[in-house]
Structure 1
Amino acid sequence: MIRETDCPAPCELNTLYGSDALAEMLRRLDMPYVALNPGSSFRGLHDSLVNYLGNQDPHILLCLHEEHAVSIAHGWAKITGKPLAVVLHANVGLMHAAMAIYNAWCDRVPMLILGATGPVDAAKRRPWIDWLHTSRDQAAVVRPYIKWDDQPASLAASLSSLMRAMTITTSAPMAPTYVCFDVTVQESAIDTMPTLPDPARHAAPDAPAASAAQIDALVAMLAEAEAPVFLVGRVSRDGTDWVRRVALAEHFAARVITDIKTGAAFPTRHPLHAGAPGFFLSADAAEVLSGADLVVCFDWVDPAGTLSQSTLRDSARVVNVTLEPLLTNGWSMDHQDVVASDLTILTEPDTLVSALCERLRLDSTTQTPRSSPAPHGQEAEAVLSLDALAHVLRAGMVNDAHTLVRLPLGWDGRHCDFTGPLDYLGYDGGAGISSGPGMVVGAALALKGSGRMPVAVLGDGDFIMGATALWTGTHHQVPMLIVVANNRSYFNDEIHQERVARVRDRPVVNKHIGQAIDEPDIDIAGLARAQGVHGLGPVSTVAEFESALAEALTMVRAGKAVVIDARILRGYVKEMAEGMTAEHQG
């Protein structure tokens, strides 16, 4: 249901403008939404979205910060695999959004980002403000972490660039694109609607496929291997791709390792799954990896760093299946350390898995059953910890189909029970704090009406920075549940300070200074209520959290958005604490 305030009054169109053509092009690109925070540099386009298109297809998602607009599009893409349009105001809006764009780049998600600039012709600029909001090369702010950009100087060039940006962002490997429109092009009158590029004739090309020789070589390597291990990273949210991955692993009895940085990729309770998913290797996963004689990396994030966490034998062979080399640049180090491999296949992992299943004639129809967790087993009056929270949350949601949109850095992967590709969406790519709330809203929009409940466990620092993103979700009446694992600290940095203190023989007791978020305490539930969300808590015991969760789930099932302030003890799972504070290499 669209809010009354979002329904424009009827409009008689006597004159067409350049921005009307740009808006029509967005409709032709099948954009359901456009996320934006208003700005004068695209006032022409904004008018066209409202009065030419009637605020339909695409519908405007008003956001309270540019970073939220990008994070919402990021969450949408993680569910759908498709881009949303984002509009950013001039150089200042682009700078606000830069961190979120970097997250989307690192997470390899598609996104159509549109910018705008004050008149390129200096004679047409308004005093003061137009000069502040005009840049010589606006895209330079984000060029190292977008896939392509342009600043076209005419309407025909703008339409062409818009089409090209869409094709490029949806071509694997995916990443955001950016097109900056001159305000003069937007606001100039046009006689007739120009001929628009045909999206059907500009479809994204298929990604490169493995050659027959590469498939033959990999099949032979898998057949010879006695202890193959699959590192399964960035893969699709498609159910058929999921069962193919299971079938391939079962055929070769390959152990499978997954992580929390990327979305659910393989059933975590499957006998072939090794160790618990984590941001770093668990001890069990490291042991399995150390015994491998063949490691196949399926677009795994940081294969070199992961292999270094094991004692992989020198004779073990490594296969790297990824399109990463096509995006690697010299500015960002998100491509991680270089990995030595005996065979590198430039293709998407699921494309290769499909080809292997076809070649081997594997049955890929078996579905993964969900395990039934026992009662959470936590003492009712115990002070809540992140571990206890996880037990209670899993038990409480056992009867609700749900998607875990995000999990915090301290999460213990042993609580992960993933049986399908939409069970978990992964982290945010660039580990930029404040992305969580916006990504939840974007994912919740994509899941609306699907029967799946969007659920996220966010850290308090992430939530506080991004809380106003929730207003967009409540304005559009999107059901979702956020549990804030509130340890009242930027705790990740506390463990760094603890390590430094121990190395330097200084007081560990001081590690909280400059990290603890208290005195005054922040009202998390109050922040939620200020955005139109139902805020519950604070709760600090197992019994209190269990009660709040039951109440929250009832409200979410009824279509409401809910935030629970869960006060937890400070602490990280062992592998996370050790991985985050390990000594710098070299």
Structure 2
Amino acid sequence: MSTSYFSDLLVEFLNQQGIDKVAFNPGASFRGVHDSLVHEDNAEIAPDIVMACHEEIAVAMAHGYHKASGRHMGVFVHANVGLLHASMAIFNAWCDRVPLFVLGGNGPVDAGKRRPWIDWIHTSQNIESVVKDYVKWCDQPIGQRATVESLYRAFKLMSSPQQAPVFVALDFDVQEQPLEDGVRLLPASSTDPTRLPALGGADLEHLTELIRAAQLPVLVVDFSGRDPETVAPLTALADALGLAVIDRGNRMNFPNTHQLNVSHTSSELLAGADLVIALEVQDLVGALGSFLTLTDQGLPSNGAELVTLGFNELLTSKWAADYQQFVPVNRAIAADTAASLAALNAVAADPQGPFAAPEFTERREQRVKALANVHTEARAAWARQAEEAKGNERIHVSAAVVEIHRAVRDEEWILTNTGSLTIDGWVKKLWPLERPGSYLGLNGGGGLGYGLGASVGAALAHQGDGTLCVDLQADGDLLYTPSALWTLAAYDVPLLTIVMNNRLYLNSTQHAERIAGNRDRDTARATVATSFYDQPVDFTGLAESYGVHALPRVERIEDVESTVRAAVAHIKEHGKPVLVEILMD
């Protein structure tokens, strides 16, 4: 291929870095890149374009694509207005610690080259300031050489621990310039991420001694499953050492059906924890408070030893307080997760090591039996609650979750999104989340509008491999970005979207009820301006208007399984998306 313009070189860069898809809503400020992406001479190297109807959807698609595959989908955003639209989704990815490669148009910065009106209102001084407080790195380079360097630096930084989005502004004029002599790409390996070392030396010895001496060591996990390869060694470590496991569930970190998984159980047994190892945990106070009584400093009242292993401290925002409450832990270790698990497993497997002593093995066996009882009793209780809920007049979330799983359990499914904390909580209690990568987590930043776009991206990552991608979609979240349905239909993305429609912004309704109750006021008014009762949305009709096949709305629990089965059959036969709407309590 003969490169003629700088934007052609940018396409070569995307290809060199393995980016096979880019998402955007078209904008004139990156028209040079757009032309290079569709230019016939670049056809063999240009990534596929996935058009979105809103920048928030484009970024969410890249977010879900990476979580599902570990691969990058590039995102282009229009100057000013496009970046402002994209900013919410970028914040979600920041909080979710997902590396996104976001490129935006700007300018021309050289005022003498601007067209009247439009180029002036779409040119910014320091355009990256819109998102600078919740991206890992950003730049507004001027000139071809500077832009090449910025692209490589951004790609390397976003992939190095702690991972997060990056943003580079591409000057309108620079994109369209003929390629200057001597401007060329760097070696592909230039973007290889910087590596952290494994747990070792004094840190490994200290942690080994703490585990050996502990009566009830608890392992709390949160983000480790972003690397699916860590699930098996983590499970092996818990088995070898008899660790109680609390999974905070921002990824599929540890099988929820495993006998040592005591998440969500609120067992009195866990109050006796004397050692807590927090592996890639973001909200440490929230994690500890789920099973221990804490002081106002966030420390366990019982004096349990706290050790953190991860890299949260390597990346914090000066603007967003997503770093959570500061906890004065006993030892904080920055190390590579996979390599550290390997080091710990090696110690655990040593037949002459500290964990081979009879006093430890006897204590471990007693622990395992007690934890297994807690696990079994909790799962049985959750199943009973869901079964009892089937008798409710209106469909309850727990009952719906059980029936949906019954319909898809024989498929190779992946939960691309679980919609809300309520849905997510019941999924973790009732679905068998056992396969690495089978559950992708929530949005990270609590920003509505994530679910459908991220699910489209995840389903694109699995398009053609036979995986059934399931989006348990909250109705309020869908109403932020309904035009993602257009992308679903336009690209025949085989996604099963199940709208869990309670016609409420439930969290806001619950807060309204709580404040009214606290003030001894009428709680029945909590649905004013938090519900869609008076003007309900027809999601089935909405989907059909965008060209997505939709089945009749489900209003009885008896119809959930059969309707979802019919939807799955349609996807398998036609390879196209289907929407199912369930009206629920």
Change in CA separation of 1:333 and 1:362 when aligned onto 2, cut-off 3 Å = farther
- The one-letter code sitting in structure 2 at the alignment partner of 1:567 is L
- 489, 494, 500: which is aligned to 1:485? 500
1:416 and 1:516 mapped to 2: Cα distance? 29
RMSD: 2.3
Is the partner of 2:80 in helix, strand or coil?
helix
- Structure 1 residues 382 and 551: CA distance shift in structure 2, 3 A: farther
Deviation, 1:521, is 1.6
Q: Determine if the alignment matches structure 1 residue 386 to structure 2 residue 397.
A: yes
- 1:335 aligned residue: 323
Matched, 1:36 2:24: yes
SS across alignment from 2:483: helix
- The secondary structure found in structure 2 opposite 1:90 is coil
**Aligned-pair CA distance for 1:345:** 0.8
8 Å contact from structure 1 (residues 404, 456) kept in 2: yes
Residue 347 of structure 1 corresponds to which residue in structure 2?
335
- What TM-score do you get using the length of structure 1 for normalisation? 0.88
Deviation at 1:471, TM superposition (A): 2.2
Pairing 1:136-535 to 2, within 5 Å after superposition: 136-190=125-179, 194-260=183-249, 262-276=250-264, 282-284=265-267, 287-309=268-290, 310-311=292-293, 312-361=300-349, 383-407=394-418, 408-411=420-423, 412=426, 413-535=428-550
Deviation at 1:549, TM superposition (A): 0.9
Change (3 A) 1:239 1:178: closer
Q: Please state which structure has a larger fraction of its residues in helix.
A: 2
Does structure 1 retain, via aligned residues, the 8 Å contact 2:402–2:431? Answer: no
Question: Closer, same or farther in 2 for the Cα pair 1:252/1:53, shift >3 Å?
Answer: same
Shift of 1:532: 2.3
1:75-111 residue CA offsets vs partner (Å, 9 max, x unmatched)? 0111222322100000110000000000000000111
Q: CA 1:50/1:297 → structure 2, altered by over 3 Å: closer, same or farther?
A: same
Specify the code of the residue in structure 2 equivalent to 1:502.
G
1:134 is displaced (CA, Å) by: 0.3
Structure 1: gaps (5+ residues): 1-12, 277-281, 364-370, 570-586
2: distance between equivalents of 1:230 and 1:283? 15
Residues 60 and 454, structure 2, Cα contact 8 Å, conserved in 1: yes
CA contact (8 A) 1:299 1:348 kept: no
Alignment length, in residue pairs? 542
Question: One-letter code of the match for 1:315?
Answer: G
> The residue matched to 1:566 in structure 2 has which SS?
strand
Structure 2 length-normalised TM: 0.88
- Aligned in 2, Cα 1:55/1:89: closer, same or farther, shift over 3 Å? farther
Letter in 1 for 2:287: T
Q: 1:105 to 1:196 in 2, by over 3 A?
A: same
Whether the 8 Å CA contact 1:248–1:362 is kept in 2: the answer is no
Deviation larger for 26-35 or 404-413: 404-413
Asked if 2 retains the 8 angstrom alpha-carbon contact of 1:16 and 1:193, the reply is no
SS of 1:16's equivalent in the other structure is coil
**1:176 CA displacement:** 0.5
Greater Cα shift, 552-561 or 430-439: 552-561
- The one-letter code sitting in structure 1 at the alignment partner of 2:577 is A
In structure 2, the CA distance between the partners of 1:518 and 1:348, relative to structure 1 (3 Å rule), is: farther
Which secondary structure does the structure 2 equivalent of 1:94 belong to? helix
1:237/1:421 contact within 8 Å kept: no
Q: Aligned pair in 2 of structure 1 residues 191, 511: CA closer, same or farther (>3 Å)? A: closer
Q: Which residue of 2 aligns with 1:127?
A: 116
2:560 is the counterpart of 1:545? yes
SS at match of 2:128: helix
Structure 2: which 5+ residue stretches go unaligned? 294-299, 352-378
Q: 1:270 to 1:190 in 2, by over 3 A?
A: closer
Structure 2 distance, partners of 1:65, 1:254, is: 46
Q: What one-letter code is carried by the residue in structure 1 that aligns with 2:399? A: A
What is the CA–CA distance in structure 2 between the aligned matches of 1:362 and 1:382, rounded to whole Å? 57
How far apart are the structure 1 equivalents of 2:483 and 2:70? 25
- Equivalent residues of 1:49, 1:55 under 8 A apart: no
Rounded Cα–Cα distance in structure 1 between residues aligned with 2:554 and 2:44: 41
- Contact kept? 2:87, 2:131, Cα under 8 Å: yes
Q: Does the alignment pair 1:565 with 2:581?
A: yes
Q: Secondary structure at the match of 2:527?
A: coil
Describe the SS at the equivalent of 1:538. Answer: coil
Amino acid at match of 2:94: W
- Specify whether residues 356 and 117 from structure 1 end up closer, same or farther in structure 2 by C-alpha distance, changes over 3 A only: same
Whether the 8 Å contact between 1:81 and 1:110 is mirrored in structure 2 is: no
